[in-house]
Structure 1
């Protein structure tokens, strides 16, 4: 059953998205405050419910990297046909890195590439390795089950294709493990709307919290010189809340996942 985006439906979807976060054991939460950002934007063909794409997005958060997401869900055409032409098959995730002139199809190979080029020591940590080959674990597949009604396929591919891509990509600020960011990514995947994913990973214990409350006491202060400080001061003008969507096509900036979902459906649905 596809849940409506009313108050009750949104609460249920939020609980489902939270289940995915819990099943992943905290991956996609924390990251470096000083990422090694590539000069040219990384491009990732993916879709939200794919467990292999999730592995890559978790590493993007860990390394705090921004990238262009080109949602390629089942039944879709806006990016999926292009994916098939570039990669030789409609398989995700598929990474294009113009900084190194690499095009990589296998999720573990993508992860190794990201650590080799955009981490301080150039080595893939053991927890991000797949020693038995590029296989999704049972837990990772279970985390995908709760998203299977959303983000796994295009909801109306003919209309999506007729609309095509926005003139400019949308910008989404958040991090992989946030259940509210997940709901927005699912909607973007269903609608096949490309966007720049700005990873804003939690950088310290004071960043951990939920429902507006953090573990740290007193006034919140991001790590000085870190990415969160930059986003808070330069992008959100003193506020720090996720998800945060910027749509340059309509000059729209907004917080709150439910409001963003309503906006996306109205504008691109």
Structure 2
């Protein structure tokens, strides 16, 4: 190995060591634990995971997919307003407000939503005070709806920030050409702007999908009832029974769901490069 190559390797060695110790080793250990029983290859732990938590697996998929779709819709709307709106106060207001959830940890967001979405929480009290609801009509949103609301509220700023930056880099001549031809703003956004930033949107949504799939605090604090998400089940198997094998099997299922999102992203990338 030449001197420059050795020096470069020594510079990245601490980072490689950290990745190996903190990520690769736990990943390999969890995979091995999930597919072995008594030192032999076995799917026993997966059978147990599906037998006990098949409903929670479907619930997790439902919550994360719906949250991702809503995140995409709201992010496109906000980024579109920031890019295409000609109302200065609206753009300035959105710029000042939409980024705040970025700086709030998930555990803090979950606690805030507990007080906001409860039956006697801030949201219902405000609706009752303004006459929109009667006191007896107030209902708690501390269930799957609360999880989705929390995820969307937390992830929309992240995707919007990426998307608005990509939209800002678009050649304004294409937007002005659409306006000159009489196209409405929604049509310009959907037919001219979005196709040019679809790659950035897909990256943001894949990252959001994986992030929401891995969060423990939100489903545990916002909706403690059944069904629940896989992260809560994994914590329960470990903390209550010390059952690392079944927890690792659930973790592998989460890896598989993340791999599907990664496959969609890579497939889109390959298709894009072939067309180019």
Higher strand share: 1
> Does 1 or 2 have the higher relative contact order (CA < 8 Å, sep 6+)?
2
Normalising by structure 1, what TM-score?
Answer: 0.27
User: Which has the higher Rg, Structure 1 or Structure 2?
Assistant: 2
Greater share of residues in helix:
2
